[in-house]
Amino acid sequence: MATIVKRGRYEWQVKIRRKGYKSLGKTFESRADAEKWAHMVEIQIARGEWFDRTEGESTLIRDALERYAREITPRKAIKAQRRELFRIKLLQRSSIAHIALARVRGGDVSELISERKKQGANPNTIRLDLALLSHLYTVGRSEWRMEYLTNPVSAVRGARPKLPQGRNRRLQDKEEAKLLKAARKRSVIWESLIIVALETAMRRGEFADLRWEFVNLKTKVAHLPETKTEEARDVPLSPRALDALRALPRRIDGSVFGITDVNISQEFGEIRNEAGCLGLTFHDLRHEATSRLFERGYGIHEVRAITGHKNLATLSRYTHILATDIAKKMAHEKR
């Protein structure tokens, strides 16, 4: 039963005691509001629909993210942890961080999107921010006993930034030769790195982390224990890739290329400019290598095993097979 007690001129305290439920209490400025709340709660208890929303209404997004970082983030791969902790810190500095979990609405998420756009965040970065926020609510409901939470991210549709179409930059006539010539001037390391990139479709970070202990020149396989998708994979090495790797000097620290992720991006930009390959990025080499694998006749599942794409839809963004090559194949088909 609910009891309502006047505690002051504008203060009415409600207490509800029911068997099987902990004592509930709340204070209102008028008796009418107190009675309305007590009636609603008693009906919900009778129907088995009552949830104590105290934690969700008192826990700020900022504090929930702190708990997420302690309990959920450590379950992920080391690289993924670093990326996620960085993203959590960004969200903890946003305006939405000071709103309680149970009080965030779709409009608040829309404001977060606008805020991140003004900060210069690209559409994919904002998409990842929203994915983290959404998962925070999933965890709150499934693991933190806040079953009453409603995910505000799902209420936002039109305000979400549209992702740009995947890049389709392919190496044009003689660009590969120009690129390798410019790389050769810099060092044999860079010439080998570009060749291996075009032969294996490995990611920039995978080159930065590659160590000789994971490269077996006899079995012609490079093992990648940590990848962007958090799944280890083995990359087959073509004869051209093997020759490029054999040309490399061995480093004392065991690193194959001895170049950091950031330096790969910066130095490749300088090599590209010297070669006159305007607009080309290092990631475009992965795109080029993937397309070449298809053009050489490998099946989609074989290519997926080599490149490490998690799903076929993502892989299709990288497969821009030249129409001229298809036309040449058609010309040799028997009529």
pLDDT tens by residue, 151-189: 999 888 766 777 666 667 888 889 999 999 999 999 999
Compute the CA torsion angle 183, 186, 189, 194 (nearest 10 deg): -20
Helix (H/G/I), strand (E/B), else coil: 318 = coil
Q: What is the pLDDT of residue 207?
A: 94
- Asked if 126 and 116 count as a contact pair (C-beta separation under 8 A), the reply is yes
**Among candidate residues 161, 24, 134, the one with its CA nearest the CA of residue 72:** 134
Q: What is the pLDDT of residue 238?
A: 93
Beta-bridge partners for 223: 234
Here the CATH number for the domain that contains residue 64 is: 1.10.150.130
**Among candidate residues 65, 54, 83, the one with its CA nearest the CA of residue 139:** 65
CA-CA distance, 271 to 54, in Å (whole number)? Answer: 59
Per the structure, the count of domains in the chain is 3
Catalytic, out of 26, 53, 228, 233: 228
Catalytic, out of 203, 287, 292, 304: 203
Helix (H/G/I), strand (E/B), else coil: 178 = helix
Active site residue 141: no
Same domain, 299 and 218: yes
Same domain, 64 and 181: no
Q: What is the pLDDT of residue 186?
A: 93
For the chain, list residues with pLDDT below 50.
335
Q: What is the pLDDT of residue 56?
A: 81
- Listed residues 127, 155, 183: the one ending a domain: 155
Residue bearing tokens 């504090």: 63
Helices 106-118 and 123-142, axial angle in degrees (round to 10): 150
DSSP labels, 81-116: HHHHHHHHHHHHTSGGGGSBGGG--HHHHHHHHHHH
Same domain, 106 and 249: no
- Listed residues 155, 186, 202: the one ending a domain: 155
Active site residue 286: yes
Here the CATH number for the domain that contains residue 203 is: 1.10.443.10
Is 139 among the domain residues? yes
Active site residue 332: no
Count CB atoms within 10 A of the CB of residue 30: 11
Residue range of the domain that includes 31: 2-50
Same domain, 10 and 147: no
Is 169 among the domain residues? no
CA-CA distance, 324 to 306, in Å (whole number)? Answer: 25
Helix (H/G/I), strand (E/B), else coil: 322 = coil
Q: What is the pLDDT of residue 318?
A: 58
Same domain, 210 and 290: yes
Same domain, 232 and 290: yes
DSSP labels, 185-225: HH-HHHHHHHHHHHHH---HHHHHH-BGGGEETTTTEEEES
Is 62 among the domain residues? yes
Helices (H), 201-298: 204-209, 239-246, 261-275, 282-295
CA-CA distance, 93 to 190, in Å (whole number)? Answer: 40
Active site residue 203: yes
Quote the radius of gyration of the chain (alpha carbons, Å): 28
Is 160 among the domain residues? no
Same domain, 81 and 224: no
Same domain, 137 and 270: no
Q: What is the pLDDT of residue 41?
A: 72
Q: pLDDT digits over 22-64, tens only?
A: 677 778 888 888 878 778 777 777 676 566 677 888 899 999 9
Q: What is the pLDDT of residue 190?
A: 95
How many residues in total does the chain contain? 335
Active site residue 304: no
Is 31 among the domain residues? yes
Output the CA–CA distances (angstroms, integers) from residue 94 to 56, 97, 98, 119, 266, in the order listed: 19, 6, 8, 11, 30
Q: Give the type of residue at 9.
A: R
Same domain, 290 and 204: yes
- Asked if 24 and 42 count as a contact pair (C-beta separation under 8 A), the reply is no
Is 221 among the domain residues? yes
Catalytic, out of 204, 286, 287, 304: 286
CA-CA distance, 306 to 298, in Å (whole number)? Answer: 10
Same domain, 46 and 68: no
Catalytic, out of 283, 298, 317, 320: 283
Same domain, 46 and 63: no
CA-CA distance, 314 to 311, in Å (whole number)? Answer: 6
Same domain, 322 and 284: yes
214-218 long-range contacts, CB within 8 A, separation 24+: 215/245, 215/256, 217/242, 217/245, 217/246
